[in-house]
Structure 1
Amino acid sequence: MKPLIVTGTDTGIGKTVISAGLVQALGASYWKPVQSGLEEETDSEIVARLTGAPVLPEAVRLELPASPHISAEAAGVRIDVGALNLPDTPRPLVVEGAGGLMVPLDDETTFLDIFARWGAPVVLVARTALGTINHSLLSLAALRSRGVPVAGVIFSGEAVPRVERTIAEMGDVPHLGRLDRLDPLTPDSLRAGFAQIDMTAIRAAMETA
């Protein structure tokens, strides 16, 4: 079973919560290769708190909450993109990117470049709010242009069926379900919310990619 990569159309759209739900549902380990911003609870800490699952240490930890290449410059370092390789784990592995596909790791390399090298299936997290059709279809086109397998789209936010259907149909990808805002956000509420996610399709993508 190949690892599963979680990326999004933007930052702050619920990738980490959806990653935690996938970790919980798959009995997986979690890895955030690059963490930019250490002042607040990190994504790895959020996933650990919500799931209790094994969390692999980040390959790169940067203090400044900004694009990784800018955070690295501020720290006086350069990210070694060649060293970012998928780890071997006894469990399934969920890998969360930072921001969207075209977020730079240095002045030449984006997360999309890394995902294309890895060749693992990607779940795209998309908002249901205004503007998401454009962002989602552009992201799907970028993934396809690099031959990255796409497991499908998980939507984040309140239900907007017409928008969701447009993205799935025009993007020619499976609609894997939608996760509404969870309040409170707890392991139990996350598990209940993920009852609406098509885990059968996600497992199949991990097995056949």
Structure 2
Amino acid sequence: MLGQELARGREARFEALMRVVVEPLHRYLLRRADADAVEDILAETMLVLWRRLEDVPGLGVGPETDPDDVLPWCYGVARGCLANTRRAERRRLRLVERLARTAPPAESGEAEHAELHAVLGTLGSMDREVVLLWAWEGLTPRAIADATGLTPNAVSIRLHRTKKKLAALLDERTAPTLDMAQVKEGPTGEQRRTTRPAEGH
């Protein structure tokens, strides 16, 4: 009886978590992965969250869960699942190349936003992740620190440096309409969904 009650309580907590993180995590992955792979990566992320439910910081026992409390940690889980998928894809591509040298590498699926992604692609992987978490997910430096494992001070420094670099690169591009506002819109042209201003310098 007690075991059944504990199981039901765990399921209720997981459902409460899913209600607030599924859509943000789906958007997060869509901006970073091929659309065909997003559902699989999201499912893997959900599985990890279920297995590590007790580790999710800020997840209370009640029916309501504050996204600001749980999302940074969940972004970190999704980031890890995405990295695993990319490593597996790289291994697959290396195997394909060995078997058939004529096969071209897979396209990123973001050709229509090549100008924006060309600029973002000049950044180091962590700098890019920090600025995307700020611009597209609307996270504060402290929340970005939780998602990436950096310190809040390191995030603020990276964010300040990276925004200056991006602004300079965007000024140099031939497309005059491409600017930091477009970076914040993301690849779908959709403004980030946040009710609070992003912090950082």
More strand by share: 1
* Structure with the larger RCO, 1 or 2 (CA within 8 Å, 6+ apart): 1
More helix by share: 2
Scaled by the length of structure 1, the TM-score of the pair is 0.28
Scaled by the length of structure 2, the TM-score of the pair is 0.28
